[in-house]
Amino acid sequence: MWRNYLTVGLRALAKNRTYAFINIVGLAIGLAACLLILLYVRYEHSYDGWMKDADQAFQLQSYHSADDLGGEEQNLQLSAIVAARALAKDFPQVENVVFVRSFSPVIIQDGQASQIDDLRMVVGNLFDILQVPFVRGDPRTALGDSHSLVLSESEAKRRFGDADPIGKTLTIVDNAGDVDYRVTGVFRDIPKNSSFSASMVARFDPEVQFADRVQVMTRWDSQQGWNYVKLRKGADADAINAQLAAWEKRNIPDQVVNGEVTNSGDTQDFGLVNIRDVHLGKAQQYGMTPGNDRTTVVTFAVIALLVLGMACVNFTNLATARASQRAREVALRKVLGATRRQLIAQFMGESILLAAIAMVAALTLVELTLPAFNAFLDADIALGYFGADGIWLPAVVLVLLVGVAGGLYPAFYLSRFQPGAILKANRSAADTQGSGRLRNALVVLQFSISIGLIVCTSVIYAQTLHARTLDAGYRRDGLLQVKNLTFKGVSPAQSQALVERIRRLPGVEAAARTQIAISPDGNSTADYFLPGSASSIALGTYGVETGFFKAMGMKLLAGRVFSDAQGKDDATTPYPVDLAAERALAVRGINVVITETAAARLGFDSPQEAIGKQMRGTLTVPEVGLIPCTIVGVVSDARFRSLREPIQPIVYVMQKVGFAQIAVRYAGAAPSEVRERIRRVWDEVVPLVPFEADFADDLVRGQYEREIARGQLFAAFAVLTVVIGCLGLFGLAAFTAERRTKEIGIRKVLGARTRDIVRLLVWQFSRPVLIANLIAWPVAWWVMRDWLNGFDTRIALTPTPFVAAGLLALIVALATIASHALRVARTNPVHALRYE
């Protein structure tokens, strides 16, 4: 019996190749998209799950309110060293804690210097917590002392080839000077589905190598790295997290400045997050690897299911339309003794057979597109058919679900034809009441999804373009940002010589060193007190050099900018900290330049009103107290960070040491030529430090990689939905034209013109598309409004993208059915009337 069903099903598909092609192609596209997204969702949830004892490994994260960070709310994967130490002291459930800092130092090997971007300096044995497999050495003892170094397998291969690296020496140029490290182990390359990344891991002694930043060791509001925590087996992390609020109050000391008592615990919270939940967790700032959020993952999973649903809708639509051509077949089978149950089984079998054929085509598409998909996501998604992560079971389940979902209604619809009514009327076709309305409703659903995705794609693209072209308060064109000034190999004298030589280069209009730049890696704030006020105001505070505002192209709104001729402008003090010099500075006071937002936050009604006003700030060590500051200038706000973050109110302080980068303004020369001239000067002044420089446009573009990628994925899904919708529309138009051949012939005999017939058919298929707009527009508006609310500045949701999406869908639909409409309208009525 089943072999008979299979034979009949194959013959039915072969008999109508157009129907089979449309359904198989549509289902294959839908299934391929669904499989890819299922692989993507599983991959996103697999982060760090490969790690042994991952259930015991946690990251201590810190969450900061806006007031704590000068106007910026931040959820950080970073936390203070002192926080993890206090956690280990107070909670017996904690078995081990390890502090990790990121470093991009110069590595000297055999006298040759090179830079590495992902060296992790650790305090303790990290591999006791993050149990990464080792190729050479013992992970339990590899980081036994502060001169131990372990390499990733690929880094060991790159540096030592096939030779055994154990015992070899590499020199790291650290803050403490040139430190020799001995290679004690080699670990397997960390997979891309990990929130931790490293090509080198070295142990260091913070008491020695953090000697230049002793305050970091005890400050709760200073986050210099990541804290990883190992809990004892059976320990409940949720129970610990529930106690952290009280733990903060016991451990974080009050600070008294200018009579004001503050506690960083009031604006800072902590949380232990399992290593497997970091990638999709709450804290997405300052992670080692790019994170994601569950909403995005769920969104794409839903969209993939919608694409698959559209393919199923196509099947249902075409099956019910085609059912009218199988009326006599059903009637004859019933006359010959077939039961309704047998007919349902036959038609369901045909549906599942078609879904199985489409699945084979879909798996082929997945195999072909997976490399490009991986490259786009920078992932290592693998397609395996068997085993724990095999795809065969989901594929079989999808075939059954799609086959049943797509064939359920047609099977019951076909099987209920009454043979007497069909054969008595001598009809080869039949249509049940309401089937046309069902098909129209399904077409409306399909194009609602297509139009909605087109709208979302348009809004995401427009917002991303707006973010990249918005006036950021500085001139992006002609701006180059040079990094690596903080390396140990760059002395203050070399840094000064470097910027002076860059200023003299042809094509360079201005150059200045700065602590703040585009896409900054950190955040620096200080508390300021206005005269007569005991309440502080937190503002971002960064040191800059004379000429910074010209180099950045920032507008002066009131007062003046810094000048070397004004002695009080200079806030430079010796480094390391010299208390005598700091106290002298506190007596003398300094001049500062603030931004427009900072002036407003300080309570001034206009930039001009702020000029000459006094305030005092926590700009030095607590022993010195507050530094008197006089506001001499107000400049435009500068958006250094992403548009997702609010503009930080900033106080600029002029100094001559302690800079991280150089802002270079150039004109009248090719960008690549200017960059090469600067590189040559760099190599002459600091030959042992790698040269790194980026153009402002590239840095800003990098801030929105996530939005650009999301927009591209939405665009890809929108194209898929339009293609699947048009495939279904094409098939429906073909069957409708065939079913109405006699009607059209009669209309032409009675005087209808070709354009009248075309208009009749076009209007029939245009109505569902027009109705689809009424459903898609409010849904897309609600989704995009919620997404845009995540930006500090956003575009307005105007009718333009909605109307454009509706028109585009209508044009595509009309183009799809136009050929059928014209062909049928031009048919000789004599042939049409002889049709039946």
**822: pLDDT strictly greater than 70:** no
Identify the H or E element spanning 5.
Answer: helix 2-15
Question: Which pLDDT does position 431 carry in this prediction?
Answer: 47
**466: pLDDT strictly greater than 90:** no
For the chain, the helix, strand and coil percentages under 3-state DSSP, each to the nearest 5:
50, 20, 30
Co-location of 611 and 577 in the same domain: yes
CA–CA gap between residue 48 and residue 54 (Å, rounded)? 7
Mean pLDDT calculated for residue range 269-289: 89
Q: pLDDT band at residue 434, thresholds of 50, 70 and 90?
A: very low
**766: pLDDT strictly greater than 90:** no
Co-location of 41 and 58 in the same domain: no
Co-location of 831 and 744 in the same domain: yes
Co-location of 18 and 73 in the same domain: no
Considering the chain, what is the average pLDDT of its residues?
A: 82
**183: pLDDT strictly greater than 90:** yes
Q: Which of 65-79, 376-390, 431-445 has the highest mean pLDDT?
A: 376-390
Choose one of 637, 666, 695: the last residue of a domain: 666
- What pLDDT digit, counting tens, does each position of 81-104 carry? 888 889 999 999 999 999 998 877
Co-location of 137 and 16 in the same domain: no
**674: pLDDT strictly greater than 80:** yes
- What pLDDT digit, counting tens, does each position of 773-807 carry? 899 899 999 988 888 887 878 888 889 999 988 88
Mean pLDDT calculated for residue range 350-376: 87
Mean pLDDT calculated for residue range 821-829: 65
More confident residue, 381 or 652: 652
Kindly provide the residue ranges of all beta strands, DSSP E only, lying in 188-312, ordered along the sequence: 200-203, 226-231, 255-257, 260-262, 268-274
Question: Which pLDDT does position 598 carry in this prediction?
Answer: 93
Structure tokens at 579: 């208390």
Domain of residue 814, residue span = 463-470+703-836
Q: pLDDT band at residue 216, thresholds of 50, 70 and 90?
A: low
CA–CA gap between residue 767 and residue 589 (Å, rounded)? 74
Phi, psi of 278 (to 5 degrees): -65, -45
**453: pLDDT strictly greater than 80:** yes
Co-location of 648 and 712 in the same domain: no
- The answer to whether position 286 is within a domain reads no
CA–CA gap between residue 282 and residue 467 (Å, rounded)? 24
Co-location of 31 and 113 in the same domain: no
What percentage of the chain has pLDDT greater than the value 70? 81
Whether 631 contacts 604, CB under 8 Å: no
Lowest mean pLDDT among 95-104, 269-278, 388-397: 388-397
Question: Which pLDDT does position 430 carry in this prediction?
Answer: 44
More confident residue, 264 or 70: 264
Co-location of 39 and 59 in the same domain: no
Question: Which pLDDT does position 319 carry in this prediction?
Answer: 66
- The answer to whether position 695 is within a domain reads no
Question: Which pLDDT does position 433 carry in this prediction?
Answer: 44
- What pLDDT digit, counting tens, does each position of 525-559 carry? 888 999 988 788 889 999 999 999 999 999 999 99
Question: Which pLDDT does position 416 carry in this prediction?
Answer: 64
Whether 549 contacts 635, CB under 8 Å: yes
Sort strands 537-544 and 650-654 into parallel, antiparallel or unpaired. parallel
Question: Which pLDDT does position 175 carry in this prediction?
Answer: 60
Question: Which pLDDT does position 552 carry in this prediction?
Answer: 93
Co-location of 24 and 158 in the same domain: no
How many helices (H) and strands (E) would you count in the chain?
A: 24, 26
Question: Which pLDDT does position 24 carry in this prediction?
Answer: 80
- The answer to whether position 403 is within a domain reads yes
CA–CA gap between residue 782 and residue 779 (Å, rounded)? 5
- What pLDDT digit, counting tens, does each position of 314-352 carry? 777 766 666 555 666 666 666 666 676 777 777 777 778
**420: pLDDT strictly greater than 60:** no
Question: Which pLDDT does position 194 carry in this prediction?
Answer: 92
Question: Which pLDDT does position 113 carry in this prediction?
Answer: 74
Question: Which pLDDT does position 92 carry in this prediction?
Answer: 92
Q: Which of 69-83, 577-591, 594-608 has the highest mean pLDDT?
A: 594-608
Question: Which pLDDT does position 325 carry in this prediction?
Answer: 59
Question: Which pLDDT does position 414 carry in this prediction?
Answer: 65
Three-state SS across 433-497?
A: CCHHHHHHHHHHHHHHHHHHHHHHHHHHHHHHHHHHHCCCCCCCCCEEEECCCCCCCCCHHHHHH
Choose one of 651, 666, 681: the last residue of a domain: 666
**729: pLDDT strictly greater than 90:** no
Lowest mean pLDDT among 109-118, 323-332, 490-499, 770-779: 323-332
Co-location of 9 and 91 in the same domain: no
- The answer to whether position 774 is within a domain reads yes
Sort strands 627-635 and 590-595 into parallel, antiparallel or unpaired. parallel
- The answer to whether position 168 is within a domain reads yes
Lowest mean pLDDT among 5-14, 130-139, 150-159, 304-313: 5-14
Structure tokens at 730: 């094409």
What percentage of the chain has pLDDT greater than the value 90? 28
Co-location of 154 and 207 in the same domain: yes
- The answer to whether position 679 is within a domain reads no
Lowest mean pLDDT among 101-105, 212-216, 445-449, 527-531: 212-216
Choose one of 242, 277, 312: the last residue of a domain: 277
- What pLDDT digit, counting tens, does each position of 513-527 carry? 999 988 887 778 888
Tell me how many domains the chain contains: 4
Structure tokens at 372: 């490009």
- The answer to whether position 169 is within a domain reads yes
Co-location of 380 and 237 in the same domain: no
**229: pLDDT strictly greater than 90:** yes
Question: Which pLDDT does position 355 carry in this prediction?
Answer: 84
- The answer to whether position 137 is within a domain reads yes
